[in-house]
Amino acid sequence: MIVDLHSHTHCSDGHLSPQDVVYRASERGVSVLAITDHDTIAGLPIAHITAREVGIQLVNGIEFSSQWGRGGVHIVGLGIDPMAPAMQSAIAYQFDSRESRSRAIADRLAKAGIPNAYEGARELAGGESIGRPHFAQFLVNQGAVSNMNAAFKRFLGTGKYADVKYEWPSMEQVIEWIVQSGGIAVLAHPAKYDLTRMKMCAMIDSFAAAGGQAIEVISGQQLPTLTADLVKIANARSLMASCGSDFHFPDQPWQDLGNFGSLPDTAVPVWSALRLAS
Ligand code: AMP
Ligand code: MN
Ligand code: MN
Ligand code: MN
């Protein structure tokens, strides 16, 4: 059984529609899928219709941006009730945060001689919330850089000119939103924050102390030694284990739906706590 609990649609910074993400997951043999768009659940209703059509179990998900110390940390909520008042107000809060951050990014870009970036990113995002990848795409379209990666390297990445200092809500706050919405809080891709192992463990300790219940021990293609280490770290803290591709685009095989190693037997799968049909 392939369980993929981390994926994106064009409701945030993915390229495919929610329907196409579900179709692709099904074609690739995924039987349980969570769609976890950045700070939005807009893709879930239509994805559920497609999931029923193709016989995939769809888990309601979201990937929230949160703050830990000076850095941003992503927390996935699984099995959330999209209609819960806490979820509705969390999404409204994050939408506003992304709007004001986007205005600040656009101001910086205007100072660098690239005007109208807010309008450009807004158009690319459609009616949904804006992320840095929308700015990156705008910069590529304008000819300011040759590709998305260069946009992050030159303008949008950490410490770069248009990297505005933005304070996301605390880990505690985000975990509370998820728990109040009936979901399970999962620390996303702990090895991808550019931290030393010691710092990463400190982050996981803070997450567990704040009520987080699981960590992603697998995020896309990765070395089995990393998976084994993360399982050990999770088990030592009585945290459950999650896994997912973090799928965004069809042309990235190392982050494609269902394309990752299986969970080691020693891990406690997070889906043991999700209400999945058997
Ligand atoms: P945001 O949540 O608006 O800060 O945007 C973060 C998203 O940007 C991540 O989830 C990635 O999908 C994407 N991202 C981050 N760094 C890069 C990069 N160097 N190249 C392309 N995409 C990136
Ligand atoms: Mn993303
Ligand atoms: Mn993430
Ligand atoms: Mn993600």
pLDDT, tens digit (0-9, with 9 covering 90-100), for 67-126:
999 899 999 999 999 999 999 999 999 999 999 999 999 999 999 999 999 999 999 999
Length in residues, the chain: 278
Mean pLDDT of the chain, nearest integer: 96
Contact 62, 177 (CB under 8 A): no
For 222, residues 6+ apart whose C-beta sits below 8 A from its C-beta are 191, 260, 261
DSSP track, 164-194? ----PPBHHHHHHHHHHTT-EEEE--GGGS-
The Cα–Cα gap between 83 and 62 comes to 13
Instruction: For 72, list phi and psi in degrees, rounded to 5.
Output: -90, 140
Distance, in Å, from the CA atom of 273 to the CA atom of 182, rounded to the nearest integer, reads: 12
With cut-offs at 50, 70 and 90, classify the pLDDT of residue 127. Answer: confident
Do residues 211 and 176 make contact, with C-beta atoms less than 8 angstroms apart?
Answer: yes
Q: Residue 30 has what DSSP assignment?
A: E
Q: Which of 7, 16, 135, 152 has most ligand 1 atoms within 8 Å of CB, for mutation? A: 152
**Residue list, ligand 1 pocket, CB within 6 Å:** 13, 38, 65, 131-133, 148-149, 152, 157, 248
- Report which ligand 1 atom has the smallest distance to the Cα of 248: 12
CB 8 within 8 A of CB 248: yes
The closest ligand to the CA of 189 turns out to be: 3
Cβ atoms of residues 142 and 120 within 8 Å: yes
CB 77 within 8 A of CB 181: yes
Helix axes 44-54 and 18-27, enclosed angle (nearest 10) = 30
What global pTM score does this model have? 0.96
Average pLDDT over residues 216-229: 98
Long-range pairs for 68-71 at CB < 8 Å and ≥24 separation? 68/170, 68/171, 68/203, 68/206, 68/207, 71/193, 71/195
In the chain, % of residues over pLDDT 90:
95
Residue 184: strand pairing partners: 78
CB atoms within 10 A of CB 239: 24
2-4 and 57-68 as β-strands: parallel, antiparallel, unpaired?
unpaired
- pLDDT mean over 190-217: 98
pLDDT at 165 over 90: no
The ligand 1 atom at the shortest distance from the C-alpha of residue 13 is: 12
- Give the residue-averaged pLDDT of 220-235: 98
| Dist. CA 123 → ligand 3 center (Å) | 23
Nearest-angstrom CA–CA distance, 74 and 127: 22
How far is the centre of ligand 2, averaged over its atoms, from the C-alpha of 9 (Å)? 9
